[in-house]
């Protein structure tokens, strides 16, 4: 009997010890998690400010404000092509790669295994074997599903691949800051820039109930802008330990002129955002319309206030964003939590219905457009390397207008009543999403 009691007593002690270990482990994880969020600035208060007396697009001060406030680089170039839809975009990229004679520089955030990635590798390998310098600057996080054999195949063909911000235990918090650019430079003569990764997802993703190709576009430029963007690529290439070749054939001085272009090159910082300032200065210049395309639309208070200011002046403010067919439901729920005042004040928020909406654009009146990789969310504002080109180029304005007109016709625009009656589960998930919005 005493032996049994002793056993029960020992077992009770062991259970208590086990629970102490479990409780201690949970507490340690909680402390570690909170410490991580604290050190990454998660609890940092959002600085709110107000911009008044913005200029119009026709005001000679407007380009100066764009350059000075958003650190935009003034340059020039000629819009040579514009494509929408996955087939057209990927065909244009492959044609550009196959035409390369001396250099191919490519920077991207997202790649997944599949036909598009395989076609891409075949085209790059062929040019590398032909003696073309091929350099790929690939985001480590956004391409983590690609097997190592894929990169080995490219390396064996002569392609130089480097990964942007690989995880470093000596600086683990840096892993939250990514390159989100999509940039293809050919022979130092031509650049293709847009929002598409290298993935079959853009053809439609059945896993998210997506039956059609994603809404996306890409543009191509020649002229001085190419040399500036080559420098942007080289800058990041240097930062990850690559050899920098400043050959005159890569970064060239060009005598030809073109439409004025402004490059806003956002880099990660918790307190500042050149991309956000670019959008705010542009919105304040609007007199007729502000049409925004952004799949991940999680605008901070400063951006919302500027949109509301514009709406009070009678500006037609519309937001085209993703609907139910999307790759990040938690972001959509978080976005919807912020629609209340916008909808109440007459801002139209329209969700694209046919498929995932991934185009990123801001169209102001009939005279100004900004396109590139940046979304209207904290990640693009404060954590990612982004790249946008802004211009008054009439061709790009017309093509963007057409893209948005057609997309809006295929969208469902929410009402304030509909927003108020959204399900409780959606509200809960949205509020959870907003808590973690810097990490979405």
pLDDT of the residue at 33: 64
Ordered mean pLDDT values, 10 residues apiece, the chain (440 residues): 57 62 71 66 69 87 92 94 96 98 96 97 98 96 96 97 88 81 95 96 89 95 94 91 77 78 76 87 96 95 94 97 93 95 97 96 97 91 91 97 97 96 94 81
CB-based contacts of 101, cutoff 8 Å, min separation 6? 132, 187
pLDDT of the residue at 2: 55
Question: Quick one: which H or E segment has residue 431?
Answer: helix 424-435
pLDDT of the residue at 48: 77
pLDDT of the residue at 328: 92
pLDDT of the residue at 167: 81
Classify residue 257 by its DSSP letter. -
pLDDT of the residue at 358: 96
Give the CA count within 13 Å in the CB-facing half-sphere of 338.
24
Give the CA count within 13 Å in the CB-facing half-sphere of 366.
3
φ and ψ at residue 238, rounded to 5 degrees:
-65, -40
Question: Quick one: which H or E segment has residue 290?
Answer: strand 289-293
Region of 386 (left: φ > 0; alpha: ψ -120 to 50; beta: rest) is beta
Question: Quick one: which H or E segment has residue 16?
Answer: helix 2-39
Euclidean distance between CA atoms 40 and 379, whole angstroms = 13
CB-based contacts of 404, cutoff 8 Å, min separation 6? 291, 293, 320, 361, 363
Start-to-end C-alpha separation, the chain: 60
pLDDT of the residue at 3: 61
pLDDT of the residue at 382: 84
CB 222 within 8 A of CB 78: yes
404: nearest Cα among 210, 150, 215: 215
pLDDT of the residue at 269: 58
φ and ψ at residue 317, rounded to 5 degrees:
-110, 120
CB-based contacts of 91, cutoff 8 Å, min separation 6? 83
Domains, the chain, ranges and CATH? 61-70+262-439 (3.30.870.10), 76-239 (3.30.870.10)
Cα dihedral 116/119/122/125 (nearest 10): -50
Integer angstrom CA distances of residue 384 from 5, 98, 321, 360, 414: 62, 30, 20, 15, 30
pLDDT of the residue at 52: 82
Alpha helices in 313-381 (DSSP H): 329-336, 340-344, 378
Euclidean distance between CA atoms 140 and 174, whole angstroms = 12
343: nearest Cα among 353, 355, 351: 351
């Amino acid at each position: 009997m005493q032996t049994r009691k002793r056993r029960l007593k020992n077992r009770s002690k062991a259970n208590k010890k086990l629970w102490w270990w479990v409780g201690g482990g949970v507490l340690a994880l909680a402390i570690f998690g909170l410490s991580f969020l604290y050190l990454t600035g998660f609890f940092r208060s959002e600085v709110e400010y107000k911009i008044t007396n913005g200029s119009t697009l026709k005001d000679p001060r407007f380009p100066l404000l764009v350059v000075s406030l958003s650190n935009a680089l003034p340059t020039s170039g000629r819009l040579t092509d514009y494509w929408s839809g996955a087939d057209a975009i990927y065909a244009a990229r492959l044609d550009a790669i196959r035409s390369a004679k001396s250099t191919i520089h490519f920077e991207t955030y997202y790649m997944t295994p599949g036909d598009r990635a395989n076609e891409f590798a075949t085209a790059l390998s062929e040019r590398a074997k032909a003696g073309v310098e091929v350099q790929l600057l690939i985001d480590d996080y956004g391409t983590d599903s690609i097997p190592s054999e894929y990169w080995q195949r490219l390396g064996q063909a002569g392609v130089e691949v480097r990964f942007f911000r690989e995880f470093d235990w000596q600086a683990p918090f840096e892993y939250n800051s990514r390159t989100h650019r999509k940039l293809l430079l050919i022979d130092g003569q031509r650049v293709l820039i847009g929002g598409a990764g290298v993935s079959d997802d853009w053809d439609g993703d059945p896993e998210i109930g997506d039956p059609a190709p994603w809404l996306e576009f890409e543009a191509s430029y020649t002229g001085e802008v190419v040399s500036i963007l080559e420098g942007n690529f080289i800058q990041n290439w240097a930062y990850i330990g690559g050899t920098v070749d400043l050959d005159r054939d890569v970064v060239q001085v060009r005598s030809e002129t073109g439409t004025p272009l402004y490059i806003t090159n956002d880099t990660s910082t918790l307190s500042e955002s050149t991309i956000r300032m670019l959008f705010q200065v542009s919105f304040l210049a609007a007199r007729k319309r502000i049409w925004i395309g952004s799949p991940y639309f999680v605008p901070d208070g400063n951006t919302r206030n500027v949109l509301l200011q514009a709406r009070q002046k009678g500006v037609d403010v519309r937001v085209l964003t993703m609907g139910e067919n999307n790759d990040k439901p938690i972001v959509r729920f978080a976005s919807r939590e912020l629609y209340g005042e916008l909808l109440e004040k007459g801002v139209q928020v329209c969700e694209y219905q046919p498929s995932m909406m991934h185009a990123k654009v801001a169209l102001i009146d009939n005279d100004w457009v900004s396109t590139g990789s940046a979304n209207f969310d904290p990640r693009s504002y404060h954590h990612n390397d982004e790249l946008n080109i802004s211009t008054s180029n009439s061709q790009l304005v017309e093509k963007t207008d057409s893209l948005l007109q057609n997309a809006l016709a295929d969208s469902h625009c929410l009402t304030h009543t509909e927003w108020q009656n959204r399900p409780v589960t959606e509200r809960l998930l949205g509020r959870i999403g907003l808590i973690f919005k810097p990490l979405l």
